[in-house]
Amino acid sequence: MADSPPVYPMPSTVYGPVPSWRFGNSLGVDLIVETSTCSFNCIYCQLGHIQRITAEQRLYVPTARILADLEKVDWSKVDVVTFSGSGEPTLATNIDEVIAVVKDSWRKPVMVLTNATLLHDAATRRRLWRADTVACKLDTPDEDIFQRYNRPAEGITLERVVEGIRALKADGFPGRLALQCMFMPINRDGAERLAELAASIGPDEIHLNTPRRPYPREWYRESRGNHTEAAPVQEVQLKVITLEEAREIEEIIKRANPDARVLSVYTEAPH
């Protein structure tokens, strides 16, 4: 009789908690898991080149499997639950179900990191309603740079992304609306126009970042979090903005957005 093939455990849909320069100990929730899947393929993504570039929304991982993983968490070590992981979390149609369980069962604040490509859809916006913070990616005010920098799925434009963020605010989203802006040499000169665009949206917070983590040549699951061990794949250190440039950009953003809380990785994180 032939030996049975080995049975490998399914990868967990939760990871961490990992230290976040913005929010303390963050427990990651991954609604996609199996492979990197996103409607963006950003040149700086910590996941590397996205394997499946799509704007298709569907159920990627059954809710029951995610809840089983959440049951194993030591919640005393968790400050915030962050929906991110192996790609764009709003691609998963059960994101609202998982948010509700986290809020009702463990009463932890929830943050969703999104590229906002699907926020033009009212049903998607409703799924985020119970999140405490929705942090929307907005890296540039320029369509050409947007296409080269964020490399979205076919048909996605910067205008559609901005309209979606504005629609979430116009709906009266009860949580905090944040903009997360990643700066590299390619987009640093657009800081003033980006500051004006942000002001026209009116976020509660603006998070300024630069890619301090290297870019992996291949996707591997541990890249979801702030891994401390050596990566099992080749990595490339990306070009970042300098401390002086970061301070200048921070002042530009603050002047145009006096009512927003502005956080910078250069200020909040150790160097």
Quick: pLDDT tens for 65-96.
999 999 999 999 999 999 999 999 999 999 99
Question: Is residue 146 over pLDDT 70?
Answer: yes
Which strands sit side by side in the sheet containing 80-83, from one edge to the other?
Answer: 14-20, 24-29, 80-83, 110-114, 133-137, 176-182, 205-209, 261-264
pLDDT of residue 214: 74
Beta strands in 23-87 (DSSP E): 24-29, 37-38, 52-53, 80-83
Question: Is residue 178 over pLDDT 50?
Answer: yes
Provide the greatest CA pair distance for the chain. Answer: 74
Question: Is residue 245 over pLDDT 90?
Answer: yes
Higher pLDDT, 230 or 121: 121
Q: Which of 93-97, 215-219, 242-246 has the lowest mean pLDDT?
A: 215-219
pTM for this entry? 0.91
pLDDT of residue 22: 79
**In whole angstroms, what is the distance from residue 271 CA to residue 269 CA?**
6
Per-residue confidence band for 6, with pLDDT thresholds at 50, 70 and 90: very low
Per-residue confidence band for 268, with pLDDT thresholds at 50, 70 and 90: low
Beta strands in 22-76 (DSSP E): 24-29, 37-38, 52-53
**In whole angstroms, what is the distance from residue 31 CA to residue 59 CA?**
9
**In whole angstroms, what is the distance from residue 21 CA to residue 118 CA?**
26
Average pLDDT, the chain: 91
Does domain 14-268 match CATH 3.20.20.70? yes
Q: Which of 15-29, 113-127, 137-151 has the lowest mean pLDDT?
A: 15-29
pLDDT of residue 219: 60
Distances (CA, A) of 122 to 23, 125, 134, 155, 176: 28, 5, 15, 18, 18
Question: Is residue 227 over pLDDT 70?
Answer: no
For residue 129, the tally of other CB atoms under 10 A from its CB is: 16
Name the pairing type of β-strands 52-53 and 80-83: unpaired
